[in-house]
Amino acid sequence: ESQLNPSYNFENFLEGDANRLARSAGLAVANKPGGTSFNPLLIFGGVGLGKTHLAHAIGVEIKDKYPEKTVLYISAEKFTQQYIESVKKNNRNDFIHFYQIVDVLIIDDVQFLSGKTGTQDVFFHIFNHLHQNGKQVILTSDKAPVDMQDIEQRLLSRFKWGLSAELQKPDFETRVSILRNMLYRDGVEMPDDIVDYVAKNIKTNVRELEGAIISLIAQSSFNKKEVTLDLAKQIVEKFVKNTKREVSIDYIQKVVSDYFQMDVATLQSKTRKRHIVQARQLAMFFAKKFTKASLASIGSQIGKRDHATVLHACKTVDNLTATDKQFRKYVEDLSKKLSL
């Protein structure tokens, strides 16, 4: 049992600037498993950007081209559970052997191995065996190897042997084609302005994009209504709000201070130095924009200020954004960083 999901294939993994490298590296590996320098192939990127889909697609494609090869897909979490189980049952060697005889091993979300030294150790041995025998290893992770924490050095250095390819957030055009493809697949017609509206407003990741279009389709068929721009707006708003909830005021302060290369304590301090005041005002502005917290609560969390200070900060940011080009750039950069 390969555990592959045939509905995650290359055909429906739409290409765009954000995934071109990873996608073509995946295809190269699928054409010649174990026979390229992309071994391991590590696909990394944020949540909902297609890591699992692409990992399956590679496996599905290999099975298609080389039916005799054994391909195994497993999440790092399940791999860990199985390992722990094997230790309990005293058959650790069987566990290792099982994985050492495959031709292609795909492990999803390897960041899950962080801090799990026993599982890392066993994986290290399996990896070495497969690699020495020219077998293909494909990994996915939410971070690049350089940013991974609590993974043993020797394993990290193995991760870097092959190719690390990033999946980035899809641009507008790609988001539109992903939506169109979904609608086509489901045999649903939808006016262009609505598709564009959804693609324009949901920028976080593909999973959210799919979620929004699915509820749009469901709502319209449930109410036997034509999908209107109004309905699209309501649904998109719900999705955008849900995403915003993930951003905390602490997180905003951290991002803003990192951006200006100061620490959070400095950002919160009583100083009247202009660049620090501006950083603080930006933090307040984004807290107002991205959270549901009240002005008073924002003020108390950002250096114990009152609600009037926060209100003033928001107005100042609005004014400066309109008049100062450099300041506008700060707002744009930070908006990007904060819109997950």
Q: Which residues bind Mg ion (CB under 5 A)?
A: 51-52
- The residue at minimum Cβ distance from ligand ADP is 50
Task: Name the residue nearer to ligand ADP (CB basis): 53 or 288.
Answer: 53
Instruction: Supply the minimum distance, in Å, between the C-beta of residue 327 and ligand ADP.
Output: 34
Q: Closest approach of Cβ 32 to ligand ADP, in Å?
A: 23
34 binds, among ligand ADP, Mg ion, none (CB under 5 to 8 A by kind): none
Indicate the residue type of 243.
Answer: T
Residue at shortest CB range from Mg ion: 52
Least Å distance between CB 159 and ligand ADP? 17
> Phi then psi for 108, rounded to 5 degrees?
-95, 135
Cβ closer to Mg ion: 208 or 290?
208
Minimum Å gap between C-beta 131 and ligand ADP is: 24
Residue 113 or 206: the one with the smaller Cβ distance to ligand ADP is 206
Q: Please identify, using beta-carbon distances, which residue of 114 and 316 lies nearer to Mg ion.
A: 114
- Closest CB to ligand ADP among 33 and 50? 50
CA dist 196 and 319 (Å) reads 30
When CB distances are held under 5 to 8 angstroms depending on the partner's kind, the choice from Mg ion, ligand ADP, none that residue 119 binds is none
Q: Would you count residue 50 as binding ligand ADP (CB under 6 A)?
A: yes
Q: How far is the CB of 183 from ligand ADP (least distance, A)?
A: 12
Whether residue 198 contacts residue 216, with contact meaning beta carbons closer than 8 Å, is answered with yes
Distance CA 262, CA 295 (A): 24
Site for ligand ADP in 188-217 (CB under 6 A): 206-207, 210
Instruction: Indicate whether 180 belongs to the interface with ligand ADP (CB under 6 A).
Output: no
Listed in sequence order, the residues at least 6 apart from 27 whose beta carbon sits closer than 8 Å to its beta carbon are 10, 58, 61
What torsion, rounded to 10 degrees, do the Cα atoms 176, 182, 187, 191 define? Answer: -20
Q: Does 178 bind ligand ADP (CB under 6 A)?
A: yes
CB of 87 to ligand ADP, least distance (A): 28
Query: How many Å apart are CA 175 and CA 18, to the nearest integer?
Result: 11
- Smallest gap from residue 210 Cβ to Mg ion (A): 13
* Residue 161 C-alpha from the chain's centroid: 23
* Measured distance CA(31)–CA(284) in Å, rounded: 52
CA distance 73 to 60: 10
User: What is the Cα–Cα distance from 299 to 308, expressed in whole angstroms?
Assistant: 8
Partner residues linked to 74 by β-bridges: 107
Residues 8-37 that bind ligand ADP (CB under 6 A): 12-14, 19
CA distance 95 to 102: 12
DSSP state of 119: H
Q: Which is nearer to ligand ADP, 179 or 317 (CB)?
A: 179
Picked from Mg ion, ligand ADP, none, the partner binding residue 229 (CB below 5 to 8 A depending on kind) is none
Q: How far is the C-alpha of 47 from the C-alpha of 5, rounded, in Å?
A: 19
Which of residues 40, 41, 53, 120 is near ligand ADP by CB under 6 A?
A: 53
Q: Hey, what are 187's tokens?
A: 């045999």
- Which of 34, 40, 48, 299 binds ligand ADP (CB under 6 A)? It is 48
Q: How far apart are the C-alpha atoms of 5 and 294, rounded to whole Å?
A: 45
Name the site residues for ligand ADP (rule: CB under 6 A).
12-14, 19, 45, 47-53, 178, 206-207, 210
